[in-house]
Amino acid sequence: MSSSSSSASSSSLTTMDNEKLQQFMGKILSDFGGAASSILVYIGDKLGLYRAMSDFGKPITSQELANLTGTSERYIREWLANQAAGGYLTYDPLSQRFTLPFEHAQVLANESSPVNAVGGFQIMMSLYRDEAKILEAFKTGKGIAWGDHDKDLFEGTGKFGRLLYTANLVSSWIPALDNGKVEQRLKQGGLKVADIGCGHGVSTTLMTKAYPNSKLYGFDNQLYILLPALWHSFYRICKKKAREEGLGEDRIIFEVALSTNFPFPTEGSGIRVSSSNNEQ
């Protein structure tokens, strides 16, 4: 190393602001912890750990949770420790039991809750899996087609979007259309409504329940014809959600179609009130 470069290096070290360095390292470590917790929250949702804790209804040990979910106690013990350290759970060192607070359960375990946010963690996992595609997109600038993403992006977006739809769709968005005239027609009934780009059918189901006198048709695009496994999964999810809400095919129907040529019924009155949700 030359004397000039050695001098420059020495100078940069002596002028470094240690406080700024420590603050930044603190942020980095916090981000590391958040990234690790995101994966473990995803695992907790997939294995039904949060739901089991919520249903148990009282503080639980690692062995009890492992027994309830058919998992390994050793791994569950580590998972619980992470979740308690991150503030997702509480821990009582005397009884060695963990608790999922009721408020946290609404975010992590209750799928019907308007604040359920586990879909956001699914989206994060899909981005990890798409790393190679994202790197290629940065190199070529070509981007990634929606249907080429990991399947968790579709399900996670649908779940996360439910927060917005539940809070706004029938309470403020639809009433705001055409000074309330659209909602008035929906309430009067006799309409056939196309929800184009319905994704997992969250918006379609909400509208069907809110406007019982109209019939809803949920359409999503033909990429599922090319990817049968995804399409069948999507279709089952939509049908399952509709059945859980007590809605039959006399009220709600799901089909595969492009936004440019969806098979909207020709008979009777019709209205198109939902733009593409892109939550498939």
Give the model confidence (pLDDT) of 211-230 as tens digits.
998 888 888 774 444 445 55
pLDDT at 28 over 90: yes
Q: Does domain 21-110 have CATH number 1.10.240.10?
A: no
257 vs 278, higher pLDDT:
257
pLDDT of residue 279: 40
Among 45-59, 126-140, 157-171, the range scoring the smallest mean pLDDT is 157-171
User: Does the pTM of the predicted model rise above 0.85?
Assistant: no
User: What architecture does CATH give domain 179-274?
Assistant: 3-Layer(aba) Sandwich (3.40)
Q: Give span(s): CATH 1.10.10.10, the chain.
A: 21-110
162 vs 153, higher pLDDT:
153
pLDDT of residue 2: 56
Give the Å distances, CA to CA, from 105 to 19, 47, 115, 161, 244.
Answer: 39, 15, 10, 18, 20
Residues 6 or more apart whose Cβ sits within 8 Å of residue 275 = 196, 197
Q: Give span(s): CATH 3.40.50.150, the chain.
A: 179-274
DSSP characters over 158-207? HHHHHHHHHHHIIIIITTTGGGGHHHHHHHH--EEEEEET-TTSHHHHHH
Summarised one tens digit per residue, pLDDT across range 64-105 is 999 999 999 999 999 999 999 999 999 999 999 999 999 999
Q: How confident is the model at residue 31 (pLDDT cuts 50, 70, 90)?
A: very high
pLDDT of residue 40: 95
For the chain, give the percent of residues with pLDDT over 90: 47
Selection from 263, 255, 277, 265 nearest residue 192 by Cα: 265
pLDDT at 275 over 70: no
